[in-house]
Amino acid sequence: MNHARHRSLLAIIELGGYPNFRPLYEALGYTVAIETRMRKAIGYLKHNVPDVIVAEFNFQSDFRDRTSSLESLLAVVQRLPDTQVIVFYDREFTPQFEKLRSRLPVHHALTFPVDEASLRLCLQGVAIEPPSAHVLT
C-alpha cells in the first residue's frame, strides 16, 4: 500500500471498553489524533480534516432531540465530503443506529466486540473505495 500521501485519522473514544487500535491505525500509515469527548472532537474538526474518523455510537435515550452525541459529529462531517466515518456500535441498538445512519453519512459500521481484522479491512477499504454503506458484523 502506498503511504506517500499524508493520511490522518481521528479516533473518538468516549466509552471505550475495546482494544487500543492506535497501533493498527499507525501500521496502516495514519497519523492519529485521539479525543475522548465529542465536543472536543467537533472542535478538532474546525481546524483539521481527517481522512477517517472512528467513533462510537452510544445510544442515549435521555437526549430530547437526538439519539447520541455521534449525531452532532455526523452533522459536521456532512460538510467534509472526503472524510469517511467508521462507527462501532452495540448490536442491541441496531434500530436506533440504522435510523441515524439513514440520515447521516457512515462509511463502515462494526458491532461490538470489534474484531481487529474487520477493522483493518474497513480501513483498507477506505483507502480505495468511494463512500458507501458497508456493515460488517
122 lies in which domain range?
7-136
Quote the number of domains for the chain: 1
Query: Would you state the torsion angle of the CA atoms of residues 117, 86, 29, 32, taken in this order, to the nearest 10 degrees?
Result: -120
Residue 2 counted as domain residue:
no
pLDDT value, residue 135: 44
pLDDT value, residue 133: 42
Residue 101 counted as domain residue:
yes
Residue 1 counted as domain residue:
no
Residue 56 counted as domain residue:
yes
Q: What is the pLDDT along the chain (137 residues), one digit of tens a residue?
A: 444 467 999 999 999 889 999 999 999 999 999 999 999 999 999 999 999 999 999 876 555 555 578 988 999 999 999 999 999 999 999 999 999 899 888 999 999 999 999 999 999 887 654 444 444 44
pLDDT value, residue 6: 77
pLDDT value, residue 128: 58
Question: What letter would DSSP give residue 92?
Answer: G
Q: Whole-angstrom Cα distance, residue 20 to residue 97?
A: 23
Q: Whole-angstrom Cα distance, residue 47 to residue 94?
A: 32
pLDDT value, residue 89: 95
Predicted model pTM: 0.85
Residue 114 counted as domain residue:
yes
Cα dihedral across residues 56, 59, 60, 64: positive or negative: positive
The CATH number of the domain where 98 resides is what?
3.40.50.2300
Residue 11 counted as domain residue:
yes
Cite the DSSP H helix spans in the chain: 22-27, 38-44, 69-77, 94-103, 116-128
pLDDT value, residue 63: 52
Under DSSP, is residue 24 helix (H, G, I), strand (E, B) or coil?
Answer: helix
Residue 71 counted as domain residue:
yes
